[in-house]
Amino acid sequence: MRPAWSVILLTTLIGAGQGLYLALAAADAFGEAPARFFVAGAAVSLVLLAGGLVASFFHLGHPERAWRSAAMWRTSWLSREVIVLPLFMAAVFAWAVAHWLQMKTLWFNVVAVMLAIALFVCTGMIYACLKFLQEWHTPLTPLNYTLLGCASGLTAAAAMAAWLHPPLAPAYAAAALAAGALAYLARLAALARNARLRPKSTPATAIGVKHPRIAQIAQGAMGGSFNTREFFHGRPREVVRAARWAFLALVFPLPALFLVSGFPIPAFLLQFAGLLAERWYFFAEARHPQNLYYQAIA
Amino acid sequence: MAAIPDADKGFGMTQLALVIDLNVCVGCHACVTSCKQWNHSGEAGPLSDANPYGAEPSGTFFNRVQTYEVGEFPKTETVHFPKSCLHCEEPPCVPVCPTGASYKRAEDGIVLVDYDKCIGCKYCSWACPYGARELDEQQKVMKKCTLCVDRIYDGKLPEAERKPACVLACPTSARIFGDIHDPDSQAARAIREQGGYALMPEWGTQPANHYLPRRKTSIKLHPDELQREDNPLKVDGKLPRPAAGEPALDDVTSW
């Protein structure tokens, strides 16, 4: 698949926003911090979420019709995500206002946490539900979206705490390390799974001729088509491999070093860069069965 | 006896489809050009092209003819393979659409896109294993074969012309159009009697369009068909064999 920067930014930014909110929610429920820390944290979370939302509009051919995409929530995970994302943003906003007004925040927190988890599931399932994209069709996909989002959010929380409320910083850094390690293991598991995948579709099933040797001569177009643009990343294998090594280094090991040595802000920036590479690789790695019909041009 | 309802026969409602005979297709692209012509000038707006006369021409098509080489030289066979939306009975592209712009018609099974509702998110094209959907780069909406829905029900056309443009254009009649749920239709009969098959059956999409396989015309001769095995006395063999120099029948008689 061709990685779309709009979708890469959407998924990484809202993942970090959700993770950051969950980190704040944990401190709200089980710890203590001044209201201004929570309000500032919610503001940063909302900026991340809004950034993702804005990025997603660049993916659409008709952004002015985006409101229509809430219609098919019964069947479409994309539609569910479109509904849950603004609901979650509203819940985070309400939770921050409740802190600002010194109100009881327990129920605001419960609702927002449930929406954050629902949003992780929706985002992951958009990809995991496509069964013939075998690299994505696994429970590891929503799990990885959730864990990587939580890890980057906790790193962001550690950075915020170091700046605004230092007593919480060590706990957040420890939690970010734990979540990062867990996310790293789950991502490695997905890589190992996908390395052993055998494509179910072959040229023989694609055109229905039972023969082991089928070579395409022509695809019906000389200058490419939507099918050649949308489903091939078009990068040499070295670039894909470099992206994998980059995210394997940046998603956890390097940020962990910075977290341990007490630099959570560079840790977050490095981890976020790693997540961009991870998401790019996630798309580039997926081999769409339609590509069987677009192997040769002449 | 009362008429048996459709459901009891194991058939659902109407499912219009194309049955494409790969044994007959010569890869002339007439279906491609007629499809482009009809659907470019129809009510739904153009099938836009980018750079049509330049070095890298590209455009939106509902139908494309591809060519494959099967086997290894010199034992190869060329297969021309027309590909368009298969109007699946379980279309994976429909449930994923967030707006409901993609839908499957209950009355005839045609999968359509409402161009006024489509937001151009391309998710349906990701969800189609066949690559049957193409985003129109000018209109920014998803497009695909409509089975010429604006043609097949047009009462102003003579009955014989109420067929998809590609079917009418095919010079070898490689494309059969009909209701594959009607066991008496030409399309259903072709699938049943000529080994019609679906593409990528492994995904359970149940494509409505079917393909008829290429067939070799061959004859098998057994030794007993070359020699009269049913002549126990070998009478033929006992007859004197004329010498090479003797006149043959042609030399002694005129027919």
Query: Between 3.30.70.20, 3.40.50.1970, 3.40.50.1980, 3.30.1360.200, what CATH number should domain B7-212 receive?
Result: 3.30.70.20
CB proximity B141 to A under 8 Å: yes
Tell which residue, B84, B81, B113, has the closest CA to residue B96.
Answer: B113
List the single best residue of B121, B123, B214 to mutate versus A (max A Cβ within 10 A): B121
Interface of A with B in 185-224 (CB under 8 A): 200-201, 203, 205-209, 211, 213-224
Helices (H) and strands (E) counted in chain B, each on its own, are 9, 11
- DSSP secondary structure of A22-90: HHHHHHHHHS---HHHHHHHHHHHHHHHHHHHHHHHTT-S-GGGGGGGGTTTTT-HHHHHHHHHHHHHH
Which residues pair with residue B19 across a beta bridge?
A: B176, B210
CA B115/CA B117 separation, integer angstroms: 6
Cβ contact B67:B78 at 8 Å: yes
Determine the residue type at A194: N
Cβ contact A41:A160 at 8 Å: yes
Q: A9 lies in a domain?
A: yes
CA A33/CA A162 separation, integer angstroms: 13
CB proximity B65 to A under 8 Å: yes
Q: Compute CA A197 distance to the chain's CA centroid, rounded to the nearest angstrom.
A: 22
Q: A211 lies in a domain?
A: no
CA A88/CA A116 separation, integer angstroms: 6
Question: Average pLDDT of B244-249?
Answer: 77
Question: Average pLDDT of A87-108?
Answer: 96
CB proximity B75 to A under 8 Å: no
- What's residue A58's pLDDT? 97
Contact criterion met (CB < 8 Å) for B66 and A219: yes
What CATH number is attached to the domain comprising A53?
A: 1.20.1630.10
Considering only CB atoms, B134 lies closest to which of A201, A208, A225, namely A225
> Does the model's ipTM exceed the 0.85 cut?
yes
In order of A217, B25, B134, B145, B219, the CA distances from A222 in angstroms are 11, 20, 16, 20, 40
DSSP state of B247: P
- What's residue B9's pLDDT? 42
The contacts of residue A253 (CB under 8 Å, 6+ apart) are: A184
Domain ranges, residue A180: 5-206+217-294
Which residues of chain B does A288 touch, with a Cβ-Cβ cutoff of 8 Å? 126, 129, 131
| Structure tokens belonging to residue A3 | 């990685």
Which residues of chain A does B100 touch, with a Cβ-Cβ cutoff of 8 Å? 68, 71-72
CB proximity A230 to B under 8 Å: yes
User: Is residue A155 predicted with pLDDT exceeding 90?
Assistant: yes
- What's residue B2's pLDDT? 39
Contact criterion met (CB < 8 Å) for A68 and B98: yes
Ramachandran angles phi, psi of B113, nearest 5°: -120, 130
Which residues of chain A does B96 touch, with a Cβ-Cβ cutoff of 8 Å? 75-78, 129-130
Exposed/middle/buried for residue A64 (C-beta within 10 Å: 0-12, 13-18, 19+)? exposed
User: Is residue A42 predicted with pLDDT exceeding 80?
Assistant: yes
Q: How far is A224 from chain B (nearest CA, A)?
A: 6
Cβ contact B104:A107 at 8 Å: no
CB proximity B213 to A under 8 Å: yes
Q: A232 lies in a domain?
A: yes
Question: Average pLDDT of A182-207?
Answer: 97
Place of tokens 């494959």: B68
Cβ contact B65:B81 at 8 Å: yes
Considering only CB atoms, B201 lies closest to which of A205, A230, A290, namely A205
CA A278/CA A274 separation, integer angstroms: 6
pLDDT, tens digit, 9 for 90 and up, residues A98-116:
999 999 999 999 999 999 9
Strand B16-21 and strand B210-212: the pairing is parallel
Q: How far is B95 from chain A (nearest CA, A)?
A: 5
| Structure tokens belonging to residue A42 | 């919610």
Determine the residue type at B16: L
**Percent residues over pLDDT 90 in chain B:** 75
CB proximity B70 to A under 8 Å: yes
Rg (CA), chain A: 21
Q: How far is B224 from chain A (nearest CA, A)?
A: 33
Cβ contact B95:B76 at 8 Å: no
Residue B116: strand, helix, or coil: coil
Interface of A with B in 75-114 (CB under 8 A): 75-79, 82
Contact criterion met (CB < 8 Å) for A223 and B97: no
Contact criterion met (CB < 8 Å) for B126 and A211: no
Residue B202: strand, helix, or coil: helix
Q: For chain A, what is the largest distance between any 2 Cα atoms, rounded to a whole number of angstroms? A: 72
pLDDT, tens digit, 9 for 90 and up, residues B196-244:
999 999 999 999 999 999 998 788 888 777 766 666 666 666 666 777 8
Task: Please work out, in degrees rounded to the nearest 5, the angle formed at the alpha carbon of residue B210 by the alpha carbons of B171 and B162.
Answer: 50
Considering only CB atoms, B121 lies closest to which of A78, A214, A231, namely A78
- What's residue A190's pLDDT? 97
Domains of chain B by residue range: 7-212, 223-252
Contact criterion met (CB < 8 Å) for B98 and A71: yes
| Structure tokens belonging to residue B240 | 């004197």
Residues A266-287 as b or e (16 or more Cβ within 10 Å = b):
ebbbbbbbbbbbbbbbbbbbbb
DSSP state of A291: G
The contacts of residue B221 (CB under 8 Å, 6+ apart) are: none
Number of independent structural domains in chain A: 1
Residue A163: strand, helix, or coil: helix
Cβ contact B67:A216 at 8 Å: yes
pLDDT, tens digit, 9 for 90 and up, residues B140-176:
999 999 999 999 999 999 999 999 999 999 999 999 9
- Determine if residue A115 is left, alpha or beta; phi over 0 gives left, psi from -120 to 50 gives alpha, anything else beta: alpha
> What confidence tier does B4 reach under pLDDT thresholds 50, 70, 90?
very low
In order of A128, A217, B77, B219, the CA distances from B216 in angstroms are 43, 22, 11, 10
User: Is residue A172 predicted with pLDDT exceeding 70?
Assistant: yes
Which residues pair with residue B81 across a beta bridge?
A: B66
> What confidence tier does B47 reach under pLDDT thresholds 50, 70, 90?
very high
CB proximity B45 to A under 8 Å: no
Place of tokens 């890298």: B56
Which residues pair with residue A146 across a beta bridge?
A: none
